[in-house]
Amino acid sequence: MAYSSTPRHQSPVRAIFAAVLLLILGALAVGCSEDSNDNGEQPVIRHPQDFLPPSTSGMLTSGDPSVATDAASLQDVVNGGYETYTNHGFEEMVYQRYEGTVGGTSAMAEVKIFDQGTTANAEALNHEIRQMGLFTWETLSGIGDEAHQGVGLNAYGIIMRRANYTSELTITSSTQDAQELLRLFATHIDTEIQG
């Protein structure tokens, strides 16, 4: 079979089909290239431990953070009640304990940050934690997408949600200094989540 050097003429329908096919393939290639951001850089994968507050002059971290990435390790870290988190899409969490003094009084603080995968899961978890009765919760403005605080006898707590993250913070003191410290911790977490 002999080949001709003169180009073959395509029908207009074939030309349009080919152009549309090229556009679709181009759009798919762009849509599938989520491995980099607008600047062509690799995305930064962030984990709850990236948001932990640092030690302060009075409160120092006590040991290394505990990280859970599955139900078994979560059960070890939270020491019971892990179903509350797994029922709401649990993906990963970090726990850090802090010890020291606040306003001249010995205190211990605990910070737990949970990645629940979606905003809806984090909202549901946030609501369920408040129903557990640890504190009588009231709205706390200016932190997270939603936040609540509770004051108890010699204890103070904050539950905060930002996007798909829920944070639980408690301290074994209800003094004004302790409340301010925990609000600073919550603000730090919130700021870090927002990147």
Give the pLDDT confidence score for residue 114 in this predicted structure. Answer: 96
Whether residue 20 is found in the same domain as residue 75:
no
Whether residue 61 is found in the same domain as residue 137:
yes
Residues 74 and 150: beta-carbon distance below 8 Å = no
Give the pLDDT confidence score for residue 33 in this predicted structure. Answer: 40
Position 103 pLDDT exceeds 50: yes
**What confidence category does residue 164 fall into, taking pLDDT thresholds of 50, 70 and 90?**
very high
Whether residue 34 is found in the same domain as residue 109:
no
- Where residue 120 sits, what CATH number does that domain have? 3.40.1000.70
Whether residue 23 is found in the same domain as residue 100:
no
What pLDDT, in 10s, does the model give residues 12-38? 555 555 454 444 544 444 444 444 456
Whether residue 121 is found in the same domain as residue 156:
yes
Q: What contacts 190, CB < 8 A, 6 or more positions away?
A: 143, 144, 160, 162
187: enclosing H helix or E strand: helix 176-194
* Interval 167-194 mean pLDDT: 96
Residues 59 and 107: beta-carbon distance below 8 Å = yes
Give the pLDDT confidence score for residue 23 in this predicted structure. Answer: 47
- Domain containing residue 21: 11-43
What pLDDT, in 10s, does the model give residues 44-82? 788 999 999 999 989 999 999 999 999 999 999 987 788
Position 10 pLDDT exceeds 60: no
The verdict on residue 1 lying in a domain is no
What is the total count of domains within the chain?
A: 2
